[in-house]
């Protein structure tokens, strides 16, 4: 009985570790989304104003996104489905950055007088950045949902193992009282 209780305690520790791992992945997912929003915000501010100070969140967001992505990739290295989702996420991120880079260059050209602001607005109104960002948002939602689903399974396993361990310890305690 004592061996069974100890086995369950070790199992509880393992399950708690996996729950913590899932929360770490979810944190990186949130960081990726936040940084994509920062990139988008910086881009839109720059396109609207032409003021280079708006490029700070654009630039910092790219660096921070890369860090969060690498950490998520590392944390999910044992999960082929999540790795595939991350690969698609990176493709969406890259697509957004291509559109953003074009808009940024057009804004710089408009500020320098090489093209008209109307030309810039025409390209901006085409909404290619929004399409790319919406694709990213959908993909990050899928990635996050998969982690949430894992957490539900792991939490149920934690509850079941905790209940079994509690029952085992109670039965053992009763048995000890009867024997003494």
- Which stretches of 50-127 are DSSP H helices? 55-75, 80-111, 117-125
Residues 44-70: tens digit of each pLDDT: 999 999 999 999 999 999 999 999 999
pTM above 0.95, yes or no: no
pLDDT tens string 26-35: 999 999 999 9
Q: What whole-number percentage of the chain has pLDDT above 70?
A: 98
d(CA 17, CA 3): 21
Q: With cut-offs at 50, 70 and 90, classify the pLDDT of residue 163.
A: confident
For the beta carbon of residue 56, count every other beta carbon within 10 angstroms: 13
* Higher per-residue confidence, 98 vs 14: 98
For residue range 67-123, list pLDDT tens digits in order: 999 999 999 999 999 999 999 999 999 999 999 999 999 999 999 999 999 999 999
């Amino acid at each position: 009985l004592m061996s069974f209780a100890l086995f369950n305690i070790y199992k509880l520790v393992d399950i708690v570790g996996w729950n913590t791992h899932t929360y770490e992945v979810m944190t990186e997912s949130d960081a990726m989304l936040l940084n994509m929003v920062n990139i988008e915000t910086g881009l839109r501010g720059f396109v609207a104003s032409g003021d280079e100070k708006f490029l700070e969140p654009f630039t910092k967001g790219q660096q921070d996104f890369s860090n969060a992505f690498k950490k998520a990739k590392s944390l999910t290295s044992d999960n082929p489905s999540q790795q595939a989702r991350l690969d698609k996420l990176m493709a969406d991120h890259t697509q957004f950055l291509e559109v953003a880079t074009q808009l940024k260059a057009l804004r710089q050209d408009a500020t320098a007088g090489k093209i008209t602001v109307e030309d810039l607005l025409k390209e901006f109104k085409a909404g290619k950045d929004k399409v790319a960002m919406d694709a990213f948002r959908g993909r990050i939602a899928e990635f996050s949902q998969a982690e949430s689903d894992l957490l539900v399974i792991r939490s149920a396993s934690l509850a079941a193992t905790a209940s079994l361990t509690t029952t085992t310890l109670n039965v053992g305690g009763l048995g000890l009282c009867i024997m003494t």
